[in-house]
Amino acid sequence: MSLPVLGAGGWGTALAVAASRSGQRKVRLWGRRPDFAARLAEVRENREYLPGVLLDPAIVVTADLQAALAEAEFALLVVPSVGMPELLAELPREPGVVLCAKGLAPDGSRLSEYAQSLGFGRVAVLSGPNHAEEIGRGLPAATVVASDDLSLAQAVQAALMSPSLRVYTSRDLVGVELGGVLKNVMALAAGLGDGLRLGDNAKAALLTRGLREMNRYLLALGADQETVYGLSGLGDLIATATSPHSRNRAAGEAIARGENPQQGGKVVEGLRTAGLLDAWATAHGHDLPIVRAVAKVCAGEWSPQEGVEQLMGRDAKAEGNL
């Protein structure tokens, strides 16, 4: 069987390299731009998105989508959430799809819901504390694949598991998927704090209360409590809010300094997600103050300092109060 990895950005390249280490399937890495794919196939290094990581000679690089999908049980879809609808529209409804973006569909729905609405019967999501820069280099890491179809989750687990990457399965599709969405907003908040030089105490408080906010949101959508404190919740929050590799944390820091948050042409998922989550919270009467502050700052309605003042000026309450 083959393993198509659809999307040749940094994360797609890292997953292709990780899958080749597993050695369970023939890996095909697909890039939409023929010139880019041809160059990547020749030099065997994604110098634009993941420099320093070499592709195994066995990885096939192609811009031919149908060739990439040949003999595949499922495909990893590794494009930004904003590009996921276009890619899904091009795919046959079989094989299964594994959604590897940590964002929402344009209408604010979960990407798995969107895929299912198009008629995809076998859908999974992959999420966790997974920086492409580290996984591509074979540093130890763990991730979670969630699906209502346990056989699909187990097949993905088998295809990606290697000595440097542990893969866990989950049936909590909602929790795993939305944990990856919400932690990006918290990482933006952490970056704003870093840019404002608010200190370690402030960051610890932000992440603690941010986790509580994630818990409130995820449970309201039907997620399992243990998922919130698992790899795709707390684990991904720690990595994304603290790492120098994190696009969202770096974008928050750039905003605090008055700079462009989307430098280098890389998609920062949290910039769009913050507004969608804030709109959901408003429509459903949920209190997500950190999400609200980040959404207002990203929209230019509040300055970063005003966002801090709004959070610090909230009414006093007991810590256990959600």
- For residue 94, the model assigns a pLDDT of 87
Give pTM, 2 decimals: 0.94
Q: Smallest Cα–Cα separation from 268: which of 192, 197, 210?
A: 192
Q: Smallest Cα–Cα separation from 73: which of 130, 13, 124, 136?
A: 124
Q: Smallest Cα–Cα separation from 171: which of 97, 223, 219, 112?
A: 223
CA atoms within 13 A on the CB side of 97: 29
Given a cut of 80, is residue 176 above it in pLDDT? Answer: yes
Cβ atoms of 185 and 270 closer than 8 Å: yes
Please provide the average confidence, as pLDDT, over all residues in the chain.
Answer: 96
Share of the chain above pLDDT 70, in %: 99
The rounded distance, in Å, linking the Cα atoms of 182 and 207 is 12
Q: What number is the average pLDDT over the span 96-105?
A: 97
In order of their start, the domains of the chain are 2-171 (3.40.50.720), 174-312 (1.10.1040.10)
193-208 pLDDT, tens per residue? 999 999 999 999 999 9
266 given a catalytic annotation: no
In this structure, of 20-24, 113-117, 157-161, 183-187, the range with the lowest mean pLDDT score is 20-24
Share of the chain above pLDDT 90, in %: 94
Give Dmax over CA atoms of the chain in angstroms: 61
Burial degree of 39 (CB within 10 A; 0-12, 13-18, 19+): middle
Given a cut of 70, is residue 322 above it in pLDDT? Answer: no
pLDDT band at 129 (very low <50, low <70, confident <90, very high): very high
Q: What number is the average pLDDT over the span 159-164?
A: 96
Name the phi and psi angles at 75, rounded to 5.
-130, 140
211-230 pLDDT, tens per residue? 999 999 999 999 999 999 99
The rounded distance, in Å, linking the Cα atoms of 170 and 229 is 13
- For residue 69, the model assigns a pLDDT of 97
Catalytic residue among 26, 102, 183, 266: 183
271-292 pLDDT, tens per residue? 999 999 999 999 999 999 999 9
pLDDT band at 321 (very low <50, low <70, confident <90, very high): low
